[in-house]
Amino acid sequence: MKPAKLLTEMFSIAPANKDHQVAIRCAVGVFVPLITLVLLGRLDLAIFASFGAFTGIYGRNEPHGRRFVLQLRAGTLMLAVILLSTLTASVGTALGLSPSDRTWLQVLATTVVAGGCSLIVAWWRLRPAGSLFHIFAFAAIASIPNQPPLWQGMLVSVLTVVFSLMIGLSSRVLRSRRQPWSWPRRVRLTAVERRVAWLEALGYLVAAGLAGTLATVAGEWLGFGHNYWAMVAAVVPLVGHSTRHRISRGVQRIIGTVVGLVLLAVILLLQPAPWQTVLVIAACQFGAEMFIARQYVLAQIFVTPLALISTLLVAPVPAGTLLRDRFLETVIGAAVGVAVVLAPAVWRRLTSRPAAHPD
């Protein structure tokens, strides 16, 4: 494909499909729990609410019955990930591991989560596909230096998931929007789909593990952190219907992240109060859901400050360090993801070459 056509496809915008409805539901789903925590003075629990609210991104335009089942599955899986992440952090503390050993434990555990959740998501036919959100949630929570009490974090997560489920059904209060209720019929994966699910899970396992390893080694050598951002970026190119589309996703991730970091820098310069920060998070969540299915670069411009501001609420770090780490980790992760996508094609090409005849 010509470079000009590739660039055109990369920056084109797909038609809208009721994206504003999903965006409003997701924005409300994260705003209400976070503003409640601000009023209670418990921003240390904000990250648990943020990830619990991810329940709302599933079942975008599905009928109410199917949406409820999909979101219930997604919320249950996210709660399991959150629980495992807090337990992993507790294990590191209980064993008295050094900071370096804890980091490697988190990389190993996050890699397992990447492959396992990818398989579960495929088995349950959840969309968005893959385990990107689960990687992010697990590693972000497991890396919190001062963990709040387990029951408090889980309570906030459960309540947020329940609230997201209620929002997913909220339009039923309007007679004009009320749809006939029907439980979705269970559809088993075909043999081909099961094979694809296992291969995709292997891809997530390899991409996340390799990116986490490289980011950790490079971070220890060059002095930057947040290795899980590389693991998240590495699995982005794995979602796509063709190799070209997957590579394009990796490039879009980098471009969107760079522009998003500029937006984040402006926000941080304004030094917003906690309640204003929550408004920014809700606005970014709205923007991300408006474009995530239509234009990945634009979506990433909103996703970048959304992810980093949520992190800052729990574990504040210098702004310059945060921006640097996000850029470097994204480049490392996206490069690893593209390499994993290209590896099978390169291997087939190398093995299909005819053996040279001896003279």
CB 340 within 8 A of CB 202: no
Q: What is the pLDDT, as a whole number, of residue 10? A: 65
- Identify whether 85 is part of a domain: yes
* 3-state SS string for the chain: CCHHHHHHHHCCCCCCCCHHHHHHHHHHHHHHHHHHHHHHCCHHHHHHHHHHHHHHHCCCCCCHHHHHHHHHHHHHHHHHHHHHHHHHHHHHHHCCCCHHHHHHHHHHHHHHHHHHHHHHHHHCCCCCCCCHHHHHHHHHHHCCCCCCCHHHHHHHHHHHHHHHHHHHCHHHHCHHHCCCCCCCCCCCCCHHHHHHHHHHHHHHHHHHHHHHHHHHHHHHHHCCCCCHHHHHHHHHHHCCCCHHHHHHHHHHHHHHHHHHHHHHHHHHHCCCCHHHHHHHHHHHHHHHHHHCCCCHHHHHHHHHHHHHHHHHHHCCCCHHHHHHHHHHHHHHHHHHHHHHHHHHHHHHHHHHCCCCCCC
Q: Which of 238, 345, 289, 252 is nearest to 31 (CA)?
A: 289
pLDDT tens, residue by residue, 50-107: 999 999 999 988 888 999 999 999 999 999 999 999 999 999 888 888 888 999 999 9
The reply to whether 182 falls in a domain is: no
Count: domains in the chain: 1
pLDDT of residue 96: 83
Task: Tell me if 186 is assigned to some domain.
Answer: no
What pLDDT does residue 319 have? Answer: 80
Binned average pLDDT, 10 residues per bin, the chain of 359 residues: 59 79 94 96 94 94 91 97 95 85 94 97 93 95 90 97 95 74 81 93 96 94 87 89 80 90 92 92 94 89 90 78 89 92 81 59
Residue 185 located in a structural domain:
no
- Reading phi first (left if > 0) and then psi (alpha if -120 to 50, else beta), residue 327 is in alpha
Q: Would you say residue 9 lies in a domain?
A: no
pLDDT tens, position by position, 129-150 = 999 999 999 999 999 888 899 9
Residue 184 lies in a domain: no
Asked if residue 8 is part of any domain, the answer here is no
**Amino acid present at 158:** V
Q: Is residue 358 part of a domain?
A: no
Q: Which domain holds residue 347?
A: 18-174+191-351
